[in-house]
Chain A
Amino acid sequence: MKSVVISVAVAAVLAGLPFLLRKPFLTHVGIMIALYITLALSMNLMLRIGQISFAHGAFMGLGAYGSALLMMRLGLPFPAAFLGAALGVTVVAWLVGLIFLRIKGVYFVLLTFSFNAFVVLLFIEWVSIFGGSNGLANVPPPGWFGYQIQSRNEFYLLAFGLAIFAYSSVRAIYRSELGAVITSLDENEALTRSLGIDSRQYRLLTFCFSAFLAALAGALYGHYLTLVTPDDYGFSVSVNLVVMNVIGGVAHPIGVVLGAFLLVILPEFLRDAKQYQGLLYGILLTVFLMFMPEGLYGAMQRLRRKKEACLSG
C-alpha cells in the first residue's frame, strides 16, 4: 500500500513539473524523455527474450505515418487514428513475426534490420501516400470531443501518460506468469518447451506488444513534431534504444527508465559538438559492456547489497 502511495505521489509531482517550472525547453526535454522511456521499454521486452529487434524504427515510423494519415486523409478523430495506427502496426508485427521468428537467434536480427531498411525505402518511394523524402507536414495536433491540445504542457501530460502506461504494463507483464515464461525463453528454452509451452507463440506475443508500444510512441512523436519524415525512423532508432537499455540496465524496467532519461539529456549538453555523440555512445557502451554489463541498475543493486552486508555483519 505504501509503495502505491509513493508511486502516485512521484507521478503527481512529475506530471506537475512543467506547470511549476514554466520553462518551454525543459518541457520539450520532458516530452522526449517520456517518449523514449516508452520506446526503450518496448525494446526491453525484446531483450528479455534474448532478441534484438532492429525493426523498432520502422514500427515507430509506421505508427507516426499511420496516425497522421488516418487523421489527415480519412478525417478520423485523434483517439481513433492513434489507436488504429498502433493496432495496424501490431498486425504488421504479427505478420512479419510469423516469418521472422521461425528460427531463433541471429536471423531475426538480420531480418528485422533489412525490414527496417525496406520500410524506410517504402516511405521514400511511395510518394503519393507517404510524401517521399519530405514526408508529411502539418500533422494535426491531438484532440478529442472538441478539445484540442495546443500547449506544450498539455502535450507533456499526454506523453507522460503514455510512459506511465508503458511502464506499468511492462512491469505487470514481468511480475505475472507470462513474465516468467518470457524470461525463461532466453535462459533455457528447451526446459520451457518441455513444460508444454509453445515458445514461438510467446515470442510472437512479446514482439507484437513491443511493436504496439513503439507505434504508440511513434504516433505521438509525429503529432508532437507536426512533421513526419523517413529519416527519423532508420536503423539508428533501435541502436539508441539498445544503448539506453544497456546503460540503464536490462534487468528491471526502472533501469530502462534511467537509461532513457540519461541518454535523452546527455546529447542536450553536447549541442555544439553533435559529431561527438556517436563516439560518446560507442565508448559508453564499450565501458558498460566490459565492466558493468548489468548497467546502472545492476551497479546500484550491488552497492545496496554490499551496504546491507556491511550493516548486518
Chain B
Amino acid sequence: MLHLATQIVINGLASSLVYILMALGFTLIFGIMRIVNFAHGELYMVASFLVYFFFGSLGWNYYLVVILAAVSVGLFGAGLERVLLRPFIGRELNGMIMALAISMSLQSAAFILFGPDEHSVPRPISGVIQLGAIVVPLDRLAVGIITLLILGVFYLFMRYSKLGLAMRAVVQDEEIASIHGVRPKVIHPLAFGLGSMLAGFAGALMAPIYTIYPYMGYQPMLKAFIVVILGGLGSIPGAVLGGVVLGLTESVFATLISTTIATMISFGIIILILLVKPTGLLGRPSR
C-alpha cells in the first residue's frame, strides 16, 4: 500500500514538472501581455520537431539539441510577438484569434514538411532504477532533474534580476510599472520569448518520451489550460501549485482507473474549485 502510494506520488510529480513548464510560460505571457497564447502547444510541437531533425536525423548531441531547440523556439516566440501580436496588445479577443491563426499555420506547416505520421526519436537514456517495489524510469528521472534545474534558474531570474523584477511589476500593474521606467517594448518580447522558451524546453524534453506529430501540441496545451484555471490565471506560484495538483490527481486516477478517466476527473476538479473560488486557487479578481 505504501509502495503504491509512493509510486503514485513519484509518477504524479514527474508529470507535474512538465505541466508546470508549459503552464508557467502560458501564464507569464498572459500576465504580462494579456494575450491568450493559443499557439503555446505549437511552440512545444516545433521544439519536438527540432529534436526530431537535429537529434533523430542528424545525430547531434541530445542535450545540446535540447538547449538549441528551446533557445530557437524562444527567439521565434519573441519574433512572433514583434511581428504578429504586438498590434493586438490590449485587445484580448483579437489577440486570441491571432494566436489561433499562428497555431493553425504552424500545425499545417509541420504537416506539409513532415507529413501526418507519428515520428519517434531514440531515448538518450534508458533503463529503470528499482527501489524495492518502486520503479522509476531513468529517462523520466532525467527529465525531472533537468526541469527542476530550469525552474530553479527561472525562479532566480524572476526573483533577483532587474528584468525579472520589471516583469513581475508589469504583471501587477503595467501603467505604474511604466511610470517607473519599465518599457513594455522590452518587456513584452522578453516575456513572450521566455514563455516560448519554457514551452520549447518542455517539447524538447518530452520528444523522446512521446511520439512527434503535427497535432501533438493539443494535449500539453489542454493541460496548461487546466493548470492555469486551477492555480489562477497570470499567477506564477499558481501555475506551480496547479501543476502539482493536476499531476498528482491524474496519477492517482490513472493508476487506480485509467488515463482518460483521470483527465475527465481533472475537469470535475476544476468545476469544484471554481464553485468555491471563481478565480482559481491563487488568482486575483480580473481588472
A237, B237: Cα distance in complex, Å = 33
Residues of A within 8 A of B (CB): 47, 50, 52, 99, 102-107, 109-111, 113-115, 117-118, 121-122, 124-125, 235, 239, 242, 246, 275-279, 281-283, 285-286, 289-290, 293
For the complex of A and B, list the 3 residue pairs with the smallest distance between their C-beta atoms, beginning with the closest.
Answer: A278-B108, A282-B105, A285-B101
One of B101, B103, B260, B270 near A289 (C-beta < 8 A): B101
- A111–B100 CB distance below 8 A: no
A105, B287: Cα distance in complex, Å = 10
B residues 210-263 touching A (CB-CB < 8 Å): 218, 222, 225-226, 228-229, 233, 260-261, 263
- Is B48 on the interface with A (CB-CB < 8 A)? no
- Is B154 on the interface with A (CB-CB < 8 A)? no
One of B112, B275, B279 near A99 (C-beta < 8 A): B275
Q: Mark B261-287, 1 if CB is under 8 A from A, else 0.
A: 101100100110011001100000110
- A115–B93 CB distance below 8 A: no
What count of chain B residues pass the 8 Å CB interface test? 44
- Is B196 on the interface with A (CB-CB < 8 A)? no
What A residues does B30 contact at CB under 8 A? 106
- A278–B225 CB distance below 8 A: no
Q: Interface of chain B, helix or strand or loop or mixed?
A: helix
- B112–A275 CB distance below 8 A: yes
Q: A286-B84, A289-B98 are in contact. Are A121 and B263 (CB under 8 A)?
A: yes
- B98–A282 CB distance below 8 A: no
Q: Interface of chain A, helix or strand or loop or mixed?
A: helix
B235 CB to closest chain A CB (Å) equals 13
- A114–B109 CB distance below 8 A: no
What B residues does A104 contact at CB under 8 A? 286
What B residues does A282 contact at CB under 8 A? 101-106, 108
- Is B107 on the interface with A (CB-CB < 8 A)? yes
- B229–A114 CB distance below 8 A: yes
- A286–B101 CB distance below 8 A: yes
What A residues does B93 contact at CB under 8 A? 47, 50, 52
Residue of B nearest to A113 (CB): B225
B residues 162-191 touching A (CB-CB < 8 Å): none
List 20 contacting pairs A-B, 8 Å CB cutoff, sorted by A.
A102-B278, A106-B36, A106-B286, A107-B278, A110-B225, A114-B222, A118-B263, A121-B260, A121-B264, A242-B97, A242-B100, A275-B111, A278-B107, A281-B101, A282-B102, A285-B98, A285-B100, A289-B97, A289-B101, A290-B84
What B residues does A285 contact at CB under 8 A? 97-98, 100-101, 104
